[in-house]
A and B are shown apart, each in its own frame.
Chain A
Amino acid sequence: MGGFDMERKCLQTADVEMKKWIKTHLEKQTEKLATAEYFEQMHQNLHRRLRVEMIKEKSFSEMFLEKLQRVFLLCDHTRVFQRAVVGSFLFVFFLGIVSFNSFNLLKNNSKKIPNSLVTNYESPKIERVEKSQHSQTLVPSTPPLLSLPSKEDLEVESTKLAPNFHNSKDPHYVIRDALTHYEAMVAF
């Protein structure tokens, strides 16, 4: 009986000793591996991962609204107000430049076209359009007459436009060139 008790006691002390050893062993190891630097790094990584998870779960509009809230609620109000004023001023300035440029452009264009031409041109055009509409409805296969330049005019023009080669004054070359020009015009 006494021997059994002794054995049991020995086993219990061994068990207690073992538990103590396991505890100190694991504690020592974790203390060495999990340092303050490690936890700091872990925090940074965790924040990054959480941000990614949040982005995954949220839609663009939600994120945009949050950003706006952060800008207008959490930031310094006076700074936001200053930025808004500067921004609006710049926008107005930009609009002013654009409108001034467009006004100048319009002014220049109106100066270039004489009024008499505008009035002379507009009235017959409307009439012609009306007429052509009528003719199209009544007579379908009459193509409108094109005022094509004469062959001589084109020849003269081609000699003017011909490149300054040595043989550019050759009459055959000029006629050939004029013909091709004429053909191209007709085809067009």
Chain B
Amino acid sequence: MKKAIPEVLDQSPTDQELILRMKSGELDAFDILVERYQKRLYRVIYGVLLHHEDTNDVLMETFIKAYKNIGGFRIGASFYTWIYRIAINTAISFKRKSKSSPQPYPYFPDDEEGKMEKEFVDYRSAEQAVRQMEIKELNKVLNDALSKLSEKHRAVVVLFDLEELSHSEIAKIMGCSEGTIRSRLFYAHKQLQKLLKNDNSFIS
């Protein structure tokens, strides 16, 4: 049974309503919140850890922490900032404790199948096949470059580039000043450019 991941609809209850319901003992409200944020949180945590199994552990831990501490959540505050903060802090502390290195670019079986099909389709077009190979190579290069950054820098990059949050929002999530976020982001982008420039295949 596949569950569709619901997006926030106009008629669906707001985060605040769900939190109020949760505080009054309705556990279904927490389920809705989990479904609403699971994908985004997974993306952020994966961006920091670059490891699927670790991401799974941290995601679970994040939701459990949120459930336990929902009583202390101030109504009127932004829920996503609060839960993102829990997720980022949990991921960084998990990384410190476990010291496991990021996974190399994962192998996806459907990638191969897709590649095969596309290879047949694009058999006549050599350029397309080359392009496919380049994309795969680029993914590996990007993964390597990201894994060379520290967790804090990766977190800032993920929150800014992937989640498209503002500097002030990231500052709230990370618990530091906007200036720190700007400098971290600048440093991370510079590092990434440097790492990717070294690899000639990226920026031509």
User: A residues near B, CB below 8 A?
Assistant: 11, 14-15, 17-19, 21-23, 25-30, 32-34, 36-40, 42-43, 45-46, 49-50, 53
* Chain A residues closer than 8 Å to B162, beta-carbon distance: 22-23, 26-27
* Chain A residues closer than 8 Å to B42, beta-carbon distance: 30, 33-34
Do A50 and B158 touch across chains, with their CB atoms under 8 A apart?
no
Known: A18-B196, A32-B108. 13 other contacts (CB 8 A): A27-B162, A28-B139, A30-B43, A32-B106, A33-B46, A34-B46, A42-B38, A42-B56, A42-B59, A46-B60, A46-B64, A50-B64, A53-B67
* Chain B residues closer than 8 Å to A18, beta-carbon distance: 189, 192-193, 196, 202-203
- The residue in A17, A21, A42, A50 that gathers the most chain B C-beta atoms within 10 A of its C-beta is A21
Does B116 make an interface contact (CB < 8 A)? no
Give chain B interface residues in 32-49, CB to chain A under 8 Å: 34-35, 38-39, 42-43, 46-47
Does B99 make an interface contact (CB < 8 A)? no
Q: How far is the CA of A39 from the CA of B189 in the complex (A)?
A: 32
- The residue in A14, A15, A46 that gathers the most chain B C-beta atoms within 10 A of its C-beta is A46
Known interface pairs A23-B161, A36-B4; A46-B46 also in contact (CB < 8 Å): no
Do B143 and A15 touch across chains, with their CB atoms under 8 A apart?
no
Do A53 and B68 touch across chains, with their CB atoms under 8 A apart?
yes
Give chain B interface residues in 73-106, CB to chain A under 8 Å: 106
Do B193 and A15 touch across chains, with their CB atoms under 8 A apart?
yes
Known interface pairs A46-B64, A53-B68; A26-B2 also in contact (CB < 8 Å): no
The range of chain B's interface size is: 35 or more
Known interface pairs A34-B39, A53-B68; A40-B1 also in contact (CB < 8 Å): yes
Q: Mark B140-175, 1 if CB is under 8 A from A, else 0.
A: 001100100000000001100110000000000000
**B17 shortest CB reach to chain A, Å:** 21
**B48 shortest CB reach to chain A, Å:** 11
Does B52 make an interface contact (CB < 8 A)? yes
Q: How far is the CA of A50 from the CA of B1 in the complex (A)?
A: 22
| B139 to chain A: closest residue by CB | A25
Q: Which of B2, B35, B60, B142 contacts A49 (CB 8 A)?
A: B60
Interface CB pairs A-B, < 8 A, 12: A18-B202, A21-B142, A22-B161, A23-B161, A25-B139, A25-B142, A33-B55, A34-B38, A36-B3, A39-B38, A50-B64, A50-B67
Q: How far is the CA of A34 from the CA of B53 in the complex (A)?
A: 11
Do B47 and A53 touch across chains, with their CB atoms under 8 A apart?
no
Do A46 and B34 touch across chains, with their CB atoms under 8 A apart?
yes
Do B47 and A26 touch across chains, with their CB atoms under 8 A apart?
yes
Q: How far is the CA of A33 from the CA of B47 in the complex (A)?
A: 12
| B2 to chain A: closest residue by CB | A36
**A22 shortest CB reach to chain B, Å:** 5
Does B138 make an interface contact (CB < 8 A)? yes
Do B3 and A39 touch across chains, with their CB atoms under 8 A apart?
yes
- The residue in A26, A27, A49, A50 that gathers the most chain B C-beta atoms within 10 A of its C-beta is A26
* Chain A residues closer than 8 Å to B146, beta-carbon distance: 22
Does B110 make an interface contact (CB < 8 A)? yes
* Chain B residues closer than 8 Å to A45, beta-carbon distance: 60
Q: How far is the CA of A15 from the CA of B193 in the complex (A)?
A: 7
Do B106 and A19 touch across chains, with their CB atoms under 8 A apart?
no
Give chain B interface residues in 1-59, CB to chain A under 8 Å: 1-5, 31, 34-35, 38-39, 42-43, 46-47, 52, 55-56, 59
